[in-house]
Structures are given as structure tokens and as C-alpha cells.
Structure 1
Amino acid sequence: MSRVHAFGDDALGDLDAVGLVTAIQEGEVSIPDVVEAAISRTERLQPDLNAVAYVAYDRARAEARDPRGGFFAGVPTFLKDNVDVAQMPTQQGCDAYRARPVAVDGDFARMFLATGLVPLGKTQLSEFGFSPSAEHPRLGPVRSPWDTSRTAGASSAGTAALVAAGAVPLAHGNDGGGSIRIPAAVNGLVGLKPTRDRLAQDTLSRQMPIRIVSDGVLTRSVRDTAAFLRESEAVYRELRLPPIGDVTRPGRKRLRVAVHTAGIGRAAAPEVVELTLKTAQLLEELGHEVEEVAHPAPASVPDDFLLYWAMLAMMIVRTGRRAAGPTWDRTRLDNLTLGLDRHSRRNVHRIPGAIRRLRRLQAVSADFHRTYDVALSPTLAHETPLVGHLDPTASYDVVMERVLDWVAFTPWQNATGDPAVSLPLATTVAGLPQGMMFTAGAGDEATLLELAYELEEAAPWPLLGTTSNA
């Protein structure tokens, strides 16, 4: 097992984002030194992790000399390469066209950067975010810093690898089928997918028939995630949802917790089931009421969600030239994108029914959460695959079967719109992080954060760069 990290005795140290804010405000470190340390760390990690899609180091240095305001003023970060950031291209992890820098920030980046964060560039993802493993056919795979022979997981892989390895304390991810929670689980991070519409989104995400994508961050601490949501809410507020507010400590209320060890159509591996039940036991020891129950997902969900996912691929493939311009070359798309396109075209008559059924799931989940405050499940059904296991240039049928076998729990919350968080509470026999996922009803991120604080105190998770994980 080959582990890599960049933690050291520089301006970043081993501080999380909130700790770094305090150090900057108290004059212990300067913003230019912090940004330079993040650039240096990223450059050291890139040959091993392959996590960066686009660098904007000169811009970051300029902003460090004249930082904008906001709680996170001067904290270095990255954005995933599927949101628009002014003066940067949006390449979407794809080789089928050549993106040019965009003129203005998209809606999400405008909100994200208004918190004071300083972008160093963009992180690598799988092609259009379709694969749960970012393995670029030309540039190569994004690798986990916990074991570089393994995938860093899902389309926010580049972000997660950099945060886990210490390049930056916090960075952007988004989640349309698990792509915040999956890399959080793989890389030993906190990854919270907010409620649908909680944060500002770019136009394409808002235009989806079912808005399955939510933007957020990956962090090493619960307080960083809570602080980001608090500061984002100060910039952008969805009035149809209850406010999250400033969540800074565990909650006092004892919760009714449902436990699932089987997801939507697939069961977890025996080791993962055992780790999930150990987490359930910890919850009981903390005084929560825990009950193992069947997942509320109807039997139609796996096929319906796959067809909806495939429809999105079909829309991209069919409109690529109009959207991307004359450089578009569909022959350069990977087999997973093209296979999803074929699946959608062969089943186009079934799409309206799938969308109707998926829309009804919001009511199914709301009914479930009238009984249970929170649901616990593993984030993923088995341990982190080796690089190549989900190679998007391999046969579509082979890769899709492997995808469905691994990603059996996370799509549910994208369909329902509910918030969910992956916490690094478990470790496999092989010494790899195995995330545990907690889901609450729509709009109830505050309960998830309070529970996450409690679990972080009760069972502190290992981080790369600590004595036991150096």
C-alpha cells in the first residue's frame, strides 16, 4: 500500500479551514504564505494523485496580495471542473472538445467565492461526472492518497484526493449520484450532499427534469462543513427550506435511527455490513434508538435512476456540437458515456414513466422520515476498487455491472433530494477508509451536522499525516 500526503511544517500545517482562518486573523500566518504553501503542496502531490485539471496559480497569488472579504478570506481551495469559473475553461473531464475560458462566474462559483475562498484552479473528474471512478483515458486516473493503486472515487475525486492529502483544507464537489459522498468515503473525509436547491447552482443543473445534482464541499472536519454551509447561507438563501444556521456542537436530542445494510437493488459486502452494524452499536451506546429496517426504495428505483442517468448522457451526446462548438468529436467520448447514450435511445419510450416514478420518491422519503429522524447505511457496498476496475474504456456492460455493485446506496438521496453525509467512521481490514452515510429528511442538514459532531467526538477518525497514518 502506497500512501502519500503533503502535510508539513509550513503555513498550512495540519490546520482545517476554520483553524486556518483563526491563524490568519491572529497574524500567525499570512495569506500569501498560505496560498504559496498550498501551491507547493499541490505541485508535490500531482505526479502521484493526478488530481488537478487546470491551474490558476498566478491568479491565486494576485488574490492573496489583495484578498476579497468573507469568513474564509485567504483560504486556498479548488473547484471541480464542471462549474463555470471566470477566466478558466470548463472541460468536464472530457476529451471530445476543447473548452475555452469562460467570461464570468457561474451561479455556484459566484456564491462559493463570495465566502472569501481563493481558487488555485480546478480538479479532475470522470467524463461529465458519469463514472464513480475518475479514470481519464488520456490523462490517467485520479488516485487515492490512502493507496495510490486505488481509485479516489467518483467525479469529485480530484477534490477529495487533494483535501485528504493536505493540499488544501476544503474544496468544491458536486453530487448527482454520490459524487461528494463516494470520494469522501474513499478518502476518509466529511462529505455532505445538501438538500436539493439548498445552494446556488449553475444553469445546466437547474434545467434538469429532476434536479439530482447538489453542490457542496469535501472537508477533513465537521466544523469546516458546517462553517461553509453557514457562510453560503449568508450569501444565498433558498427561502423554501428551513435555515441551517450556525451549527457548532452536538445536538442533545436522541434520534430514531433506521439502519440499512442493503441499498437499492444490491446488498453490501459482509465486511461492510459488519462495519455498519458496529456504527449502529456506537449510536446505541450514545443513547440513540436504533432499528434495522428494509430500505424504503421501491424495486423500480435502480432501473429508473439508471435510465434517467442515461438520458442525461444522451442529451449531452446529441447536443454536443451545438453546446461545445466545432471542436466537438463524439468519437473521443469514452465507452461509458456512449453506452449510457445507447441505453437511453433503446429505452426512450420508458423515460417519461421513469421520471414520474422518480418524482414520487420525494413523498416516499418524507413518509419514511416521519418515523425515523436519520437513516444509517454504508456509503458504498464494498471496499475501494483498484484503478482499472471501473475503466470507462472497457466494455459498457462489464463496467456498468461493477458500478451498480459498488454504488448501491448513494443515488437514493439524489432522487429524493434529501441531505446525506458520509463520515469516515470505519476502516477495512486492508486499512482503507470506509465511509458511513447518514440521511435526514429534506431541509434537515442541521440534524446531520449535530450528529456528525457527536460522532466525531466519540470516535475520532484517522487522517493522513498523523503519526499512525503517515
Structure 2
Amino acid sequence: MDDGHIDNGRRGFLRGAGALGLAAATPVFAASRPAGRYEDQDAIELGRLIRDGQLTPTEVLESAIARAEASAPLNAVALRHYEQARERARALSRAGRAERLARPPLAGVPFGLKDLQVALKGTVTTHGSVFFRDAVADHDSTLVQRYQAAGLNIFAKFTSPEFGQTATTESRLFGATRNPWNPAHSAGGSSGGSAAAVAAGIVPVAHASDGGGSIRIPASHCGVFGLKPSRGLVPMGPKALEGWMGLSVHNVISRSVRDSALLLQLSQGPEAGSRVLPPTHNLMDALRKAPKGLRIALMETNPFGMGVHADCLDAVRQAAALCARLGHHVEPAAPRLPIQEMFAGMGVMTGTGMLTTVQAREKALGRAVREDELEPLNWRSLQLAKGYRAEQVFAARGVFDQAGRLLDEFFAGYDLILSPVTAAPPPLLGELSLDQPWERFVKAAVLASPFTAIFNMSGHPAMSVPLHWNAAGLPIGVQFAAPFGGEARLLALAAQLEDAAPWRQRRPA
């Protein structure tokens, strides 16, 4: 290949990453390769380009940084670790061909962490809270160690609402994260920064976590893919091995199904102290085996009896029709669950989890948190949590286990459950803010996670697949849930759906 051609392509790659008018970006590849720009590539392809020597880690990182700064109005980036990442990229870029080929598959690929319940040594994790704005980590989370072992170059943390306590990404500390499809609307939460960053092309894949829908809701609102794994599959340690006593789990949000499959494959499995151990699988192999004749239960009814918006019903019914065309059997069915007891227990558990997080920070600072250092609704929840009894926490975990048993029994007759992700399209900014009267917040909150939170309580895996956009141009995802340990089945179906109804070419303006 002509060196001048490669250099021109690289310059075009960098220009394309930083520009919002993207059509004029010069192809990065030689004539024998398909044309593309930074924001068109998934993580696996970026890793290949770096490994083949067509791009350096420094060039790819600068593309990500340029894209992040060009997308600043979305407010997806909470913390910039650019210089640390540049140092790492420069070291990787000095490698020769033999060293490049010996590295992990994602060596040098830019990556961002969610700014919540994850530690990167020497950097701040704020949890979206003023009270933690200068809380520097003294260790790396086990999951961060696994991401680094995969070769990912962590250059930023993406926004989250305070302590992940709502299904939007708005905080007093960082402000509102906007939906790339329409900036008046929420990007979802609590992994809204990660979802917005992926949808906007800042990164092809980003870390996320999910305690009640916080991977699936923002993935749905931003038109990208997100899978919540089974309880215990991805490490949470080393300091705490479960989040919110099992409700919260970690994974990623991505544009391509294969990126999610690879990141989950590279991060799954027990750490020292793990006791909940779902099976691990070769998830990349699962993508190559199109599922046949799946028995899919179609659950359309809001568990709270509050109704479901027509846009969300359209999305789930179109997904059901697509599954039927692919040879799967879909029929209306839903598990019978103690919904009121489950969601009451969830309030106890999430409030208690927030209380322990705040108390640990109080101990580190040697003083109590002030009311002006927390969002108003979180201050309210904190006071309530101080009054919970041990019996309430024990009972909450008991009802979650009962829900898991009932769903296991339901899955004896079905391979998957198909439902809406949310009961309403992406809300306007402010509707789910933690800085408003409780009564107003609850009216919007009951539409956000009635379908998703069930599977946090039961521990089952579930995913949001971007198959539908409404008349206003907003993405509406659909949810598939699987038996415990059923990630391979979910990813196999997701790859089949991605092939049948591609979504990667649909990008926000």
C-alpha cells in the first residue's frame, strides 16, 4: 500500500472523529478495505486496525477525544482522564509488529467507565454526587483490572445520576445528559452517559451497570444495545461482591452485539470470594449459531397495571412479528409474581445500599453529610433508610428469591420473555430528576422500570435490543429475558435480530 495514501486516510479518520458534519471524512482504509471513519467502527474492528498497524493507539485515542469534545453539548463525559490515557497510548504505539500481534484483541481501543460504583486507582469516582466530588480511588476494581487485561485504554468516566437512583442521567454535580436523538429528552439512566457516548460515536462500547434497568433503559432510549447479565457473572469487587445485595450488576453498552459478547466473555467469571456462580460460556461462539424455534412468551401488560404507551406496544409487537418470521414461536404469556412486595423490597434495598455508601464516605471524611450535598429526593430516601429494620432487609431479599423461583418455573415452559423495556418513550429532561417533589417524581418513575427491575430482583439476564423508532424519531428498545445463566441464548438471538433488522446504520444527526 502507498504510505501517502495511508497517511491521508489517517488524517481523514481523525478529522471525521472530531467533526459533526461527517460525510466529508476521508476513508481511513486503502482501496482493498471498506471505507469508514472512527465513529463507524466497533471495538473489535478498531482492535484489528491497531493490531494490523493501519492505525496507532494514539491516533485512535485522539479520535475518541476529538469526538468527545465535539459532542460536549450532550454532556456525557463526567471526568476526563485524557493525559493518563495518552501516556498509555504512546507506550502502546511504540510497539513493533510482533508485539502488536501478541497483545490482547482490544489493545489500545478507547474505553470509558461509568462514574458509579467502579474504581480506577488514582482517579475520582463521584457517583454523580457533590459529596463524592473529590473521592480518589486507592485501588482498581476487579472489573477494571479485567478491562485493562483486555487491552482497553480507559480515557474518561461517563455521567450517572447521584448513586444511580433514577432512570435519567441528571445531577446537581454535572447537569443533564442529553439524548443524542433529541436533546430535549433524557438519555435514560442510570448509565445515560455511557449510552449517549456510544450513540454519539465517542466510543463503540462503554462500561455500564444495572440495578433496576440502568443498562437497558438508556440503551433503549439511545438506540444502542445493552445486556444485563445474570447475578454473579461479572465481578463487583474487591471491596463488595454484590451491589445492592444482588440487584446491581455490571456489563457494557455497545453499538454491535459482538462487542458486548466479547467484553462479557473477557470479564465474566468469579473473583476471590465469589459465591453466586452462574455458568460461563464461549459467547463469541454463540453468535455464530442462529437460534431456531425459540419459545417466546410475549408480556405486554404493565406489572403495575398502569398501561403501556402505544409506541412501546408497537415496538414489542413488531419485534414479536420479526421473531415469528425468523421461525420462533411467540405467544402471549406472563409470569405471576408478587409485584407489590417485590417493589416495596426494592425501595428498602436501594435506600439501604445508598445509606451504606454515604456512611463509608462520612467515615473517610470524619464528618456527616449535609443536606445541601445530596439531591433532595436522595436526602429523603437517606432519612427513610435510617429507619429501616433488619427484618425489612431480610424480607426484601426473601421476596427477591421467591421471584427468582417463580420465574425459573415459568422458564420451564419458555426459552425467553419478550416485553417492552419501558412503559413510555424517552421522557423530557426534568421528568425523572431527583430535584423535584416526590409525588411528581413517582408518576414518571412507575413508567420507567416496571418491566426491567423484575429481572434485577430475580437475578435473571435481560437485554434491550434497538429495533424500533417512533414517529418522533426517538428509539424504542424491546426487552428479552432468559433463564439464569442464559446470556449465550440472548446474544445468539440478538445477533440474529441484528442481521435481520440492522440498526448500526441508524445514527442521530
State how far apart, in whole Å, the 1-side matches of 2:471 and 2:350 are.
33
Counterpart check, 1:50 vs 2:89? no
In the TM superposition, residue 463 of structure 1 has moved relative to its aligned partner by 4.3
State how far apart, in whole Å, the 2-side matches of 1:147 and 1:20 are.
28
State how far apart, in whole Å, the 2-side matches of 1:117 and 1:93 are.
24
Aligned pairs for 1:150-229 within 5 A:
150-203=185-238, 205-208=240-243, 210-229=245-264
1:114 alignment partner in structure 2:
149
2:161 alignment partner in structure 1:
126
Opposite residue 490 of structure 2, the aligned amino acid is L
Residue pair 1:144, 1:161 contacting (<8 A) in 2 also? yes
1:268 alignment partner in structure 2:
308
- Of residues 112-121 and 349-358 in structure 1, the stretch that sits farther from structure 2 once superposed is 349-358
2:49 alignment partner in structure 1:
23
State how far apart, in whole Å, the 1-side matches of 2:235 and 2:82 are.
26
- Of residues 52-61 and 100-109 in structure 1, the stretch that sits farther from structure 2 once superposed is 100-109
2:434 alignment partner in structure 1:
392
In the TM superposition, residue 252 of structure 1 has moved relative to its aligned partner by 3.5
2:111 to 53, 77, 95: 77
State how far apart, in whole Å, the 1-side matches of 2:323 and 2:219 are.
21
2:477 to 435, 451, 460: 435
State how far apart, in whole Å, the 1-side matches of 2:289 and 2:154 are.
31
State how far apart, in whole Å, the 2-side matches of 1:326 and 1:347 are.
22
Q: Percent identity?
A: 32
Opposite residue 318 of structure 2, the aligned amino acid is K
State how far apart, in whole Å, the 2-side matches of 1:118 and 1:402 are.
37
Residue 417 of structure 2 aligns to a residue in which SS?
A: strand
CA-atom RMSD in angstroms = 2.4
2:323 alignment partner in structure 1:
283
In the TM superposition, residue 228 of structure 1 has moved relative to its aligned partner by 1.2
Opposite residue 120 of structure 2, the aligned amino acid is V
State how far apart, in whole Å, the 1-side matches of 2:396 and 2:316 are.
31
Residue pair 1:250, 1:453 contacting (<8 A) in 2 also? no
Opposite residue 301 of structure 1, the aligned amino acid is M
Structure 1 208/159 Cα, relative in aligned 2: closer, same or farther at 3 Å?
Answer: closer
In the TM superposition, residue 241 of structure 1 has moved relative to its aligned partner by 2.5
State how far apart, in whole Å, the 2-side matches of 1:207 and 1:223 are.
26
Counterpart check, 1:63 vs 2:88? yes
1:251 alignment partner in structure 2:
290
State how far apart, in whole Å, the 1-side matches of 2:20 and 2:170 are.
20
Query: What whole-Å deviation, never above 9, does each CA across 1:280-336 have from its counterpart, x for those lacking one?
Result: 111111111111113432232222222322332343455541155448434321122
State how far apart, in whole Å, the 2-side matches of 1:220 and 1:404 are.
28
Opposite residue 179 of structure 2, the aligned amino acid is S
State how far apart, in whole Å, the 2-side matches of 1:227 and 1:63 are.
22
State how far apart, in whole Å, the 2-side matches of 1:204 and 1:399 are.
32
State how far apart, in whole Å, the 1-side matches of 2:267 and 2:139 are.
19
- Of residues 195-204 and 26-35 in structure 1, the stretch that sits farther from structure 2 once superposed is 195-204
Query: What whole-Å deviation, never above 9, does each CA across 1:55-98 have from its counterpart, x for those lacking one?
Result: 11111111112239422101001001121001211111001244
Residue pair 2:307, 2:423 contacting (<8 A) in 1 also? yes
Q: Where in structure 2 are there 5+ consecutive unaligned residues?
A: 1-18, 29-36, 93-99
Q: How many residues align?
A: 463
Residue 450 of structure 2 aligns to a residue in which SS?
A: coil
State how far apart, in whole Å, the 2-side matches of 1:156 and 1:197 are.
19
Q: Where in structure 1 are there 5+ consecutive unaligned residues?
A: none
Residue pair 1:264, 1:295 contacting (<8 A) in 2 also? no
Opposite residue 254 of structure 1, the aligned amino acid is G
Counterpart check, 1:340 vs 2:365? no
State how far apart, in whole Å, the 1-side matches of 2:396 and 2:207 are.
30
State how far apart, in whole Å, the 1-side matches of 2:57 and 2:244 are.
42
State how far apart, in whole Å, the 2-side matches of 1:447 and 1:252 are.
8
In the TM superposition, residue 6 of structure 1 has moved relative to its aligned partner by 7.8
Residue 38 of structure 2 aligns to a residue in which SS?
A: coil
Counterpart check, 1:404 vs 2:429? no
2:34 alignment partner in structure 1:
none
State how far apart, in whole Å, the 2-side matches of 1:460 and 1:209 are.
35
Structure 1 221/401 Cα, relative in aligned 2: closer, same or farther at 3 Å?
Answer: same
Residue pair 1:96, 1:331 contacting (<8 A) in 2 also? no
Aligned pairs for 1:74-113 within 5 A:
74-82=108-116, 83-113=118-148
2:416 to 364, 369, 374: 374
In the TM superposition, residue 143 of structure 1 has moved relative to its aligned partner by 0.7
In the TM superposition, residue 114 of structure 1 has moved relative to its aligned partner by 1.3
Residue pair 2:308, 2:424 contacting (<8 A) in 1 also? yes
2:60 alignment partner in structure 1:
34
Residue pair 1:134, 1:155 contacting (<8 A) in 2 also? yes
Residue 253 of structure 2 aligns to a residue in which SS?
A: strand
Residue pair 2:335, 2:410 contacting (<8 A) in 1 also? no
Residue pair 1:379, 1:436 contacting (<8 A) in 2 also? yes
Opposite residue 25 of structure 1, the aligned amino acid is R
Which of structures 1 and 2 has the larger relative contact order (alpha carbons within 8 angstroms, sep 6+)? 1
Residue pair 2:425, 2:476 contacting (<8 A) in 1 also? yes
Query: What whole-Å deviation, never above 9, does each CA across 1:255-285 have from its counterpart, x for those lacking one?
Result: 1000111243243212311221121111111
Residue pair 1:188, 1:433 contacting (<8 A) in 2 also? yes
Residue 466 of structure 2 aligns to a residue in which SS?
A: strand
- Of residues 84-93 and 330-339 in structure 1, the stretch that sits farther from structure 2 once superposed is 330-339
2:97 alignment partner in structure 1:
none
2:177 alignment partner in structure 1:
142
Residue 406 of structure 1 aligns to a residue in which SS?
A: coil
Residue pair 1:164, 1:463 contacting (<8 A) in 2 also? no
Rg larger in 1 or in 2?
A: 2
Residue pair 2:255, 2:504 contacting (<8 A) in 1 also? no
Residue 421 of structure 1 aligns to a residue in which SS?
A: strand
Structure 1 5/454 Cα, relative in aligned 2: closer, same or farther at 3 Å?
Answer: farther
Opposite residue 80 of structure 1, the aligned amino acid is K
